[in-house]
Amino acid sequence: MKPLGTEQTLAFEEPLLLRSGASFGPYELKVETYGQLNDARSNAVLVCHALNASHHVAGLDAQGKLGWWDNLIGPGKALDTDRFFVIGVNNLGSCFGSTGPMHTNPATGRAWGGDFPLVCVEDWVAAQARVLDRLGVQRLAAVLGGSLGGMQALSWAMRLPERLAHCIAIATAPSLSAQNLAFNEVARNAIVSDPDFHGGHFYDQQTLPQAGLRVARMLGHITYLSDDVMESKFGRERGESNAFQIESYLRHQGDKFAGYFDANSYLLIQRALDQFDPAAEHGGDLTRAFQPARCKFLLASFSTDWRFSPARSREIVQALLDNGLEVSYAEIDAPHGHDAFLLDDPRYHGLLRHRFAQIAREVGA
Amino acid sequence: MKPLGTEQTLAFEEPLLLRSGASFGPYELKVETYGQLNDARSNAVLVCHALNASHHVAGLDAQGKLGWWDNLIGPGKALDTDRFFVIGVNNLGSCFGSTGPMHTNPATGRAWGGDFPLVCVEDWVAAQARVLDRLGVQRLAAVLGGSLGGMQALSWAMRLPERLAHCIAIATAPSLSAQNLAFNEVARNAIVSDPDFHGGHFYDQQTLPQAGLRVARMLGHITYLSDDVMESKFGRERGESNAFQIESYLRHQGDKFAGYFDANSYLLIQRALDQFDPAAEHGGDLTRAFQPARCKFLLASFSTDWRFSPARSREIVQALLDNGLEVSYAEIDAPHGHDAFLLDDPRYHGLLRHRFAQIAREVGA
């Protein structure tokens, strides 16, 4: 079957000036696009990914793998690729084809490993903007993202206000809480204390720090699910060899993840999450951080999300309202916790379908 | 300075029949007692410990270390050692002097390690009952415990109803939830995947699985604190070398713990927690599990405890009420999460002070 999207590798010769002050490049980014850019070049939607996803957002790819947001994006779906030109970008430092820690550091001739520069949400946004330049898109109909992807969408609205009409940020937060940081620190320790990690230089050691990565993912997974959904799905049920089913389930999730994800990318993306805090540049004032924003906003959160709780979305909504911006906000009563943003709750998808229909009318998609 | 308590090692020749069906012994238990058993032998209070504590509950020991519940127990304190004969027992399988995985398995001549038998809450209760026999205490004025210690107190009420007048169970649960089990599974994986663990036989390898134990403890620590208290204590503040303070704090907690606690004891005690589920023997009916109970109950939970939430205590209270038992229950509005049971919130300590004054009158202490 023909893939729904068109995958391409874009090479960027000019270095990217990173937020840390370092300059990085040349580099390559994997990009997948869906649908057609209309003549007015007004129907482009950028979809930003979270920790473990990629540019492959919808349909099957050449390997037969379904896109990570396929339930939302595609022909006739809430984000309709028959009307919109949808762009997925694998972020710099990730491990699905874009330049990352597993690629060669030209200064040393060996893989970057843990020496890959610190990359921030704002750097991804700058890199995504260059992708749009390359694709001939000056102004986006919308930027859409959930969780860490939502942070990118918010960052677009603050940093490149003239280049988007709508920002749609789902299950996100204006920064990590102390508890979020704490979980990340535990995951980081599990990875870096795995002797197969070799300080991030495991590529030339014929080893992979899979044990550490597995623990990190198991832990992450707990925070993606609500207490209630875990209870109703697994409770204290036992499976094979009398182990609790939740134990086998978590181990399975950890094994699967450790089999395909790169440990350095994990640490790098987690660090970007830790660092995201647009209010910090403005003395902790989120309202001032959003002052440059000009687009319309839709935010949604899920009642049982304890990773990025509704209260965190409300902080954002308040800051946007303080700036007199146009904001819609939905707090969706869903049992699934943070993971809900990837599921197809009908109220949630109905909300996005309605918003994209409105955007289509506005931009003539 | 003279220790407040009297520490002794009690040797038990006769094997203990464990819940698993295995028989274990001979074995030794470390015990510390405080105050004097009165002539009527009616003023004894057993204090049960949670994961990382011991028989040393109050005052300074010979090494100058303060007991883990010293803010509650001692002369003139809520549990007044001038009136009560207080007994602390280091549970079988723990690592503070009682027989545990670091001791020699007579069948092999090497340390038990991971081959130490599965020990359950009910086994600890049976072993504690033998300690009382040895100390000449037929009937306890009260059994007191928090968290896993609370499970032991509840188990006393169900299994040895004639041997206690009061059960005081703080911040506890009738079983672990799926989320509790999930966190334990992550901690377990961190420990057993540490190459220094050697399948639990690290004692004769000159290694310690400290990296894994550190990750386990860091994770545990997150679940002991409320989101709010972590936010107000640490927020996104940074300390030395620009690291977030919560990161340094957790690493410090992990290092400290990994320096004194035994990895096999950790796994063993965690497994006892996982297994505790008195309702399971009665088709999931907690009310039936409490049918044998005859004592009076005091339960307390803390509003921000998300490890063993107030809802879990309410399940117990309901089961006790269904049996027509006398129950007092306090849900204490405290910001500290699960850890609150070890802190000296005045309402909480006032509640226990009042209850022990009542018990003192009842038993003539």
Per-residue pLDDT of chain A (365 residues; tens, 9 = 90+): 688 999 999 999 999 999 999 999 999 999 999 999 999 999 999 999 999 999 999 999 988 999 999 999 999 999 999 999 999 999 999 999 999 999 999 999 999 999 999 999 999 999 999 999 999 999 999 999 999 999 999 999 999 999 999 999 999 999 999 999 999 999 999 999 999 999 999 998 999 999 999 999 999 999 999 999 999 999 999 998 889 999 999 999 999 999 999 999 999 999 999 999 999 999 999 999 999 999 999 999 999 999 999 999 999 999 999 999 999 999 999 999 999 999 999 999 999 999 999 999 999 99
Q: What is the pLDDT of residues B6-34, one digit of tens each?
A: 999 999 999 999 999 999 999 999 999 99
Q: What pLDDT sits at residue A1?
A: 67
Residue of A nearest to B308 (CA): A227
3-state secondary structure of B38: coil
**Which residue, chain included where needed, has tokens 């377990």?**
B188
Pick from A181, A183, A267 the residue to mutate for testing the B interface (most B CBs within 10 Å). A181
A349 is catalytic: no
Give A220→chain B minimum CA distance, Å: 10
In angstroms, the separation between the Cα of residue B175 and the nearest Cα of chain A is 9
Chain position carrying tokens 């027989």: B99
CA nearest neighbour of A173 among A313, A328, A364: A313
Across residues B193-207, what is the average pLDDT? Answer: 95
pLDDT of residue B1: 67
- B12-18 contacts at long range (C-beta below 8 A, 24 or more positions apart): B12/B127, B12/B130, B16/B92, B16/B123, B16/B126, B16/B127, B16/B130, B17/B126, B18/B117, B18/B118, B18/B119, B18/B120, B18/B123
Contacts of A294 (CB under 8 A, 6+ apart): A157, A161, A162, A325
For residue B180, give the chain A residue with the closest CA. A227
Nearest alpha carbon to residue B55 among B151, B164, B128? B128
Question: Do A185 and B247 make contact, defined as CB atoms within 8 angstroms?
Answer: yes
Q: Which residues of A touch B (CB under 8 A)?
A: 175-179, 181-183, 185-186, 189-190, 193-195, 211-212, 214-215, 218-219, 222, 227, 230-231, 233-236, 244, 246-247, 250-251, 254, 274, 277, 280, 306
pLDDT digits (tens, 9 = 90+) for B321-338: 999 999 999 999 999 999
Chain B nearest-CA residue for A193: B211
Looking at the DSSP bridge assignments, the partners of residue B104 are B111
pLDDT the model gives residue B241: 85
Cβ-Cβ contacts under 8 Å, B186 against chain A: 215, 218-219, 222, 250
Task: Give the Cβ contact number of residue A6 at 10 Å.
Answer: 10
Q: The tokens 């535990």 sit on which residue?
A: A186
Please, which residues bridge with residue A47 across strands? Answer: A88, A144
Put simply, the answer to whether B215 touches A227 (Cβ < 8 Å) is no
Residue B74: half-sphere exposure toward Cβ, Cα within 13 Å:
15
CA atoms within 13 A on the CB side of A58: 26
Q: Which residues of A touch B233 (CB under 8 A)?
A: 178
> Which residues of chain A make contact with B235, given a CB cutoff of 8 A?
178
**Whether B338 is catalytic:** yes
Residues of B in contact with A247 (CB under 8 A): 181-182, 185
Residue B2 confidence (pLDDT): 81
CB contact under 8 A, A193 and B215: yes
For residue B175, the chain A residues in CB contact (below 8 A) are 236
Q: What pLDDT does A62 receive?
A: 87
- d(Cα A270, Cα A256) in Å, to the nearest integer? 19
Mean pLDDT, chain B, rounded, equals 97
Mutation for testing the B interface, residue in A236, A274, A312 having most B CBs under 10 Å: A236
Q: How confident is the model at residue B160 (pLDDT cuts 50, 70, 90)?
A: very high
Q: DSSP state, A14?
A: S
- Nearest chain B Cα distance for residue A193, angstroms: 6
Query: Tokens 């869906």 map to which residue?
Result: A34
**Burial A255-267, CB ≥16 within 10 A → b, else e:** eebbeebbbbbbb
Between CA B295 and CA A24 the distance in angstroms is 70
d(CA B70, CA B343): 10
Looking at the complex, report in whole angstroms how far the Cα of residue B179 sits from the nearest Cα belonging to chain A.
Answer: 6
Q: What is the DSSP letter of A146?
A: E
Among the listed residues B309, B338, B339, B345, the single catalytic one is B338
Question: What pLDDT score does A130 carry?
Answer: 98
Beta carbons within 8 Å of B256's beta carbon, 6+ residues apart: none
CB-CB under 8 Å, A222 with B247 = no
Residues B14, B15, B18: CA angle, nearest 5 degrees:
145
Considering B42, B54, B147, B309, which one is annotated as catalytic? B147
Return the SS3 of A202.
Answer: coil
Q: Choose the mutation target among B181, B184, B186 for the interface with A, i.e. most A CBs under 10 Å.
A: B186
Asked whether residue B268 carries a pLDDT value surpassing 90, the answer given is: yes
| DSSP SS3 for B182 | helix
Which of A184, A208, A215 to probe by mutation at the B interface, max B CB count within 10 Å? A215
Pairing of strands B85-89, B27-34: antiparallel
> Mind telling me how many Å the CA of B270 is from chain A's nearest CA?
13
Pair of tokens at residue B70: 């010293």
Alpha-carbon gap: A284 to the closest alpha carbon of chain B (Å):
11
**Which residues of A are less than 8 Å from B220 in CB distance?**
none
Task: State yes or no: is B305 an active-site residue.
Answer: yes
Spatial distance between the Cα atoms of A302 and B135, rounded to a whole number of angstroms: 56
Per-residue pLDDT at A142: 98
C-alpha B239 chain-centroid distance: 34
Predicted-assembly ipTM surpassing the 0.90 threshold = yes
**CA dist., res. B162 & res. B165, Å (int):** 8
Task: Name the residue facing A215 among B177, B186, B306 (closest C-beta).
Answer: B186
Is the CB of B236 less than 8 angstroms away from the CB of A280? Answer: yes
